[in-house]
Structure 1
Amino acid sequence: MLSMFKSIPAHMDYRGQKLAEQIFQGVVLVSAVIGFIYGLIIEQFGWTVYIMIAGFAISCLLTLPPWPMYRRHPLTWQPALPETPAENREKPQENLKKKKHK
């Protein structure tokens, strides 16, 4: 059962994160404006809060799961450098110890 959850992708790329943030802010802003106007018209502040909570829930549903639209631009990593022999390679700390200060 645990392997089923491991097979679900759980990452977003940077452009996907930016898109998710824009969608979240847009939905919350639109629901706040609609809720404010509707609550003002019917003179019930409770409806303003309900509409804003519904907008928040919708925005969470749209942005929290890693939908495929948030994974369209994967990062391209540089290829790994080949290993050099250990005797030719020195640690930076050892180089600093060998230098003598005058």
Structure 2
Amino acid sequence: MLNIATHMDYEGQGRAEKLSRIIITLFGAVGLIWGYVIQQFSQTVYILIAGVLLASVLTIPPWPIYRQKPLNWQKPRPESQTVATGAEQETSKKKKK
């Protein structure tokens, strides 16, 4: 069975969001300028769509550059050491009185 990573770490998510905003803004500005120069708004839209597609390909999949700093989770406590729930604590307090 394939072992495909499906997660990003928090810093990777921030990096992906920043990269997508830069790409879309850059393509939008270039598209707006090019569309103004040739007087075709449709060219602006096409260039912007190309930027969105490029940003999607580069930032939506969990590429290895977005998984460089994974979180180190704590190990679970054994069953006997878990903290009692609020209802169990109240019941034990009533029994003591």
TM-score (norm 2): 0.85
Q: How many residues align?
A: 94
Q: 1:94 aligns with which of 80, 88, 95?
A: 88
**Could you tell me which amino acid in structure 2 is paired with residue 40 of structure 1?**
Y
Instruction: Report the aligned-residue RMSD.
Output: 2.1
Seq. identity, %: 43
Q: Deviations 1:55-102 (Å, cap 9, x if unpaired)?
A: 00000010011100000001011222233279xx754303213439xx
TM-score (norm 1): 0.82
Residue matched to 1:33: 29
Unaligned stretches of 5+ in structure 1? none
Within 1, Cα distance between the matches of 2:9 and 2:81? 36
**Could you tell me which amino acid in structure 1 is paired with residue 94 of structure 2?**
K
Residue matched to 2:44: 48
Q: Residues 39, 15 of structure 1: CA spacing in aligned structure 2 closer, same or farther, 3 A cutoff? A: same
Higher helix fraction: Structure 1 or Structure 2?
2
- Where do residues 61-100 of structure 1 align in structure 2 (5 Å cutoff)? 61-84=57-80, 90-97=84-91, 98-99=93-94
Q: Residues 94, 51 of structure 1: CA spacing in aligned structure 2 closer, same or farther, 3 A cutoff? A: same
Within 1, Cα distance between the matches of 2:87 and 2:17? 42
Unaligned stretches of 5+ in structure 2? none
Q: Residues 56, 44 of structure 1: CA spacing in aligned structure 2 closer, same or farther, 3 A cutoff? A: same
